[in-house]
Structures are given as C-alpha cells and as structure tokens.
C-alpha cells in the first residue's frame, strides 16, 4: 500500500471517528464505530492503527500541527516580534480545533500513565513545529530549552482553554500573554545572570551545555519539521 493510500484510509477513519469522540472518547467503541462508518476493512484499519483509537488521536493532533504550520505563512508573521509570533502560533493552533470536547478527550487519554509518553512527544512536536515555522535556527542547547519552555506554556494554555467560557476565549488569550511574558522575563534574567560575576564564574559548566547539538533528522522522516535556514 502506498503512503498516499495509507494516509487516505487513515483520514477516512479519523473523520468517521470525530463524531463519536465527544460521546465515547478515544476508545475501542469509537474505533469500531469509525471502521463501521468509514467502510475501511477492519484488518486494514487495525494494521494502520495498531493501538486503535489511540493512533487516531495521535493522527488528529498531528493534523492540527500541520494545519497550524500552513497558517504560519511569511505574510502572516511579517513585522511580528518573536513573542508575537509565538503567541499567534499558539492561538492559531487552538483556534483551528473544531471541537473542544475532542481535545478534552485527548487530554484525558494522554494523561493516562500508559499513554503519557506519547502525549509528551506530541506536545514537544507542537512546540518544535512552532519554533521551526517562525524561523528558529538554533542548533545548540537553546534548541532544547526553547522547545521545553514552549511545551510547558502550550500545555498550560490548553488546560486553561478547555475550561474557559469567556467571550471569544478572551481569558485564555490573556493567560497566554502572561505565560509568554513570564518566559520573556526568564530570558532577560538569564542574560543578566550570564553577565554577572557569578554567571561568568559558571561559564565553564554552562558552556559545556551549550555544546549540545540539536538532533539532525532526515527531511522525509514522518512527523519531522524541516529546519528553516539550517
């Protein structure tokens, strides 16, 4: 089966599953309903999604990342500062979600111990997609620290958004602004520390961390976002 056929069938399963997720979650019942509604052969469906609805939830999340990246065009980001680009990206990612209940069910799924690692990988992937889309070209320890920090900001914002009933989710966007401000203050404090006597004294140990290199992936690796400017 070609990659195109593979993706088409999985898309059919996902589209069929979406109407059931708000009621049954990303469950075996939802996966079976998706098979029945889509007409995809059950054997093929299980080959495409060995973990059933869990794999469909992963596909749903990655589809959202792809849609976000498509929206982060050079024209859309023009004249924005870094913090504005990040804020715009996170907001775009959430606004592209058609149904908060589907995301809520996914958050519940990936909070389970057996799926927590997968959930963490997805959040990291979203952070990586954002930084890459806005032009990050860091190749040292900053590559990791930027994505780790944004992963925390994104996770906290999603949880706030899921419980936000304010008009136009205004409270969520205010919350996001505060989290981004915290990150900017941290970066300012870090720079001040690096220039302080203590920071200069610690330059040796910290310098060793700076030699860490960002991972290099083949550009055709599934789920990888090619680095701009690398």
pLDDT tens digit sequence for 42-71: 999 999 999 999 999 999 999 999 999 999
**Who's near 140: CB < 8 A, 6+ residues apart?**
210, 211, 212, 213, 214
194 vs 185, more confident? 185
The number of beta carbons lying within 10 Å of the beta carbon of residue 207 is 10
User: What is the rounded average pLDDT of the residues 177-199?
Assistant: 64
- Tell which residue, 103, 99, 119, has the closest CA to residue 111: 119
Read off the tokens for 94. 């959430």
Instruction: State the Cα–Cα distance between residues 82 and 64, nearest whole angstrom.
Output: 22
User: What is the rounded average pLDDT of the residues 200-220?
Assistant: 52
Looking at the chain, the whole-number percentage of residues with pLDDT higher than 90 is: 68
Instruction: State the Cα–Cα distance between residues 76 and 156, nearest whole angstrom.
Output: 25
pLDDT band at 224 (very low <50, low <70, confident <90, very high): very low
pLDDT band at 89 (very low <50, low <70, confident <90, very high): very high
Residue with the two structure tokens 């920090």: 149
**pTM confidence score:** 0.82
In the DSSP assignment, the letter for residue 221 is S
**Who's near 148: CB < 8 A, 6+ residues apart?**
127
């Amino acid at each position: 089966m070609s990659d195109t056929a593979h993706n088409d069938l999985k898309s059919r399963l996902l589209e069929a599953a979406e109407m059931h997720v708000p009621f049954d979650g990303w469950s075996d019942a939802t996966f079976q309903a998706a098979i029945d509604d889509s007409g995809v052969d059950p054997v093929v469906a299980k080959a495409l999604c060995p973990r059933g609805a869990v794999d469909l939830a992963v596909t749903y999340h990655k589809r959202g990342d792809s849609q976000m990246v498509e929206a982060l065009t050079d024209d859309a980001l023009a004249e924005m500062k870094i913090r504005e680009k990040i804020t715009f990206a996170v907001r775009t990612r959430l606004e592209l979600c058609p149904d908060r209940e589907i995301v809520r069910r996914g958050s519940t799924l990936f909070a389970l111990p057996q799926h927590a690692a997968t959930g963490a990988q997805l959040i990291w992937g979203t952070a990586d997609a954002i930084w890459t889309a806005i032009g990050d070209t860091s190749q040292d320890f900053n590559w990791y620290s930027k994505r780790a920090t944004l992963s925390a900001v994104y996770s906290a914002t999603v949880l706030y958004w899921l419980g936000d009933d304010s008009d136009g989710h205004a409270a969520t966007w205010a919350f996001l602004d505060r989290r981004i401000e915290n990150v900017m203050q941290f970066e300012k404090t870090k720079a001040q520390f690096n220039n302080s006597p203590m920071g200069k004294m610690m330059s040796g140990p910290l310098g060793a961390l700076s030699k860490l290199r960002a991972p290099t992936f083949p550009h055709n690796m599934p789920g990888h976002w090619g680095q701009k400017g690398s």
